[in-house]
Amino acid sequence: MKFKSNILTFTITIFLSVVLITNSYGLGELKIGVVNLSSVFEKYTKREEFDKQLKALEKGYEKTVNEKRETIMILREEAGLLDMGSESRNKKEEEIQKRSIDMEVFAKFAEQNLLKKYKEYFEDIYVDVTKEVKIFAKENNYDLIFKNEEPELKSKEISDLQFKIGIKSVLYYSDAVDITPQIIEIINKRYSSNGKKENIPKCR
C-alpha cells in the first residue's frame, strides 16, 4: 500500500508542478477533463455485445458439462445393477472413470477459456476507450484528462479497502470538466458506423 501511496503522491506532485510552471510562464490555464471509466464501460454498446457472447459461450459450456455429468450418472446406475467383480461391471466402471476425467478436463478448459476471453475483451474495450479519449483531447485542446472510477468500498479485508480507496485518483470534479457523456456518445457512434458485429471477435 505504501508503494501505491507513493505513486499517487508523485502523480499529484507532478500535476501541481505543471500548474505552477504554467502559471509562472504565463502560458494560460490548463484545460482539464475527467472521464468516469466505469460509466463509459457500462454504456459502451460493444461491451454489451461482448457480454452477450460471453454469456452464450458460458451457457454452452455449462450445457456440455451437464450432459457429461448426466451420462456419468446413467452409467453409474447401470453399473449398480451389475454383479460386483463381473467383467461387464469392471468395464462399465472403467468407462465411468474415463468419462469423469474427460468432464473434469473439459470443465477446466472452459473455465480457463472464459477467463481468457474476459481478459481479451476487457483489453479490447480499454484500448478503444483510451484511443477515443486521446483523439477527443487533441481535437478539443485538452491538456490533461483524468480517469475517475467509483470503487465498491465494501470489503472484508482492510487491505482490500485500502487498495480500492487508493485507485480513486479524483475525489471531486464539477460537471464543467466531466467529458464522460461526450466520450460515450463518440465511441458508440464510431462503433455503430464501423459495423458492430464485424468488430467483435468470435467466441470459440
Over residues 113-151, the pLDDT tens digits come to 999 999 999 999 999 999 999 999 999 999 999 888 765
Residue 19: pLDDT over 80: no
- Per-residue burial over 53-90, b if 16 or more Cβ lie within 10 Å, else e, is beeebbeebeeeeeebeeebeebeeebeeeeeeeeebe
DSSP H or E stretch at residue 33: strand 32-36
Q: Record the pTM.
A: 0.67
> Could you tell me what percent of the chain has a pLDDT over 70?
72
- The greatest distance separating any two alpha carbons of the chain, rounded to the nearest whole angstrom, comes to 95
pLDDT of amino acid 166: 57
Q: Which of 162, 144, 142, 145 is nearest to 153 (CA)?
A: 162
Does residue 26 carry a pLDDT above 50?
Answer: no
Confidence at 109, pLDDT banded by 50, 70, 90? very high
Q: Specify the range with the lowest mean pLDDT, choosing from 3-12, 94-103, 193-202.
A: 3-12
User: Cα–Cα distance between 147 and 169 in angstroms, integer?
Assistant: 7
pLDDT confidence band for 200 (50 / 70 / 90): very low
